[in-house]
Structure 1
């Protein structure tokens, strides 16, 4: 296995914690602003089903995941990016109110790759997290869907 540094992404939302939390952690996942048919069992050990169509030019892309830990309005930690040898990405989403009706979200992604040939997995995840956070920010703060 090749050890690569944990990727961390931080975004500030001009919205209360409750709204930000419900946008990210709900039974329909990141629909309608990022995914297309995502499903989440909201419990520790719960199954996650990811599905994209709009972001992939009409091609249906699916993946699975599993929740490791949910702490209401604080933390959602899960595995995803399934390969033939198991999940490759452990994600921790940490939610923190700022005391002024805004919310910070920190996304940490620990990837498992076997060798340098798999670095595209890390690049793809980094790109995806940035895109997801930007689309979420516009959706939460402006109520707009850009897909």
Structure 2
């Protein structure tokens, strides 16, 4: 606690998440899947908003997400860098627990190599959750971009 009674911000951890996936599609298509609300909502989120300009606001929204469809969340963010089709960087998280996501798209002869790095965590729990989460997310992005298969749509309730 500071002298005025408010909690001091937690120090940022040195650890980071690194994941990569190869997607058989041009960088522009892959970029749009990660850096636009329309793209994200096709494979990952539902109802997100992205102003893909430096300083632009983001809200990533999940509705009935996950294996049990029990996750409902909205996570605010801010775009740091948007350089289509090469690089998209944003900060996301609740105030006081933000981290930075850097997505680099490398052109290959037969597609795009996606390199994702998330850093600046304040809580080890967030780092651990996101390490596994990004592995799943990149696989879902690959399924969507390459094959049009999306798993973020709600299942029919019987």
Shorter-chain TM band: 0.7 to 0.9
Q: Post-superposition, which runs of at least 4 consecutive aligned residues in structure 1 deviate over 3 A?
A: none
Correspondent of 2:34 among 15, 24, 43: 24
For residue 93 of structure 1, what is the aligned residue in structure 2? 103
For residue 103 of structure 1, what is the aligned residue in structure 2? 112
Give the length in aligned residue pairs: 140
Q: Does 1:138 align with 2:143?
A: yes
Q: Name structure 2 gaps, 5 residues minimum.
A: 1-10, 153-158
Contact map agreement 1:29 1:40 (CA 8 A) in 2: no
Deviations 1:77-128 (A, max 9, x none): 1100123x3x521111101111x23001111100321xxxx32111111122
Q: What RMSD, in angstroms, separates the aligned Cα atoms of the two structures? A: 1.6
Q: Does 1:127 align with 2:132?
A: yes
- Between the aligned partners of 1:25 and 1:59, the Cα distance in structure 2 is 22
TM-score, normalised by the number of residues in structure 2: 0.81
TM-score, normalised by the number of residues in structure 1: 0.87
Q: Does 1:64 align with 2:76?
A: yes
Q: Name structure 1 gaps, 5 residues minimum.
A: none
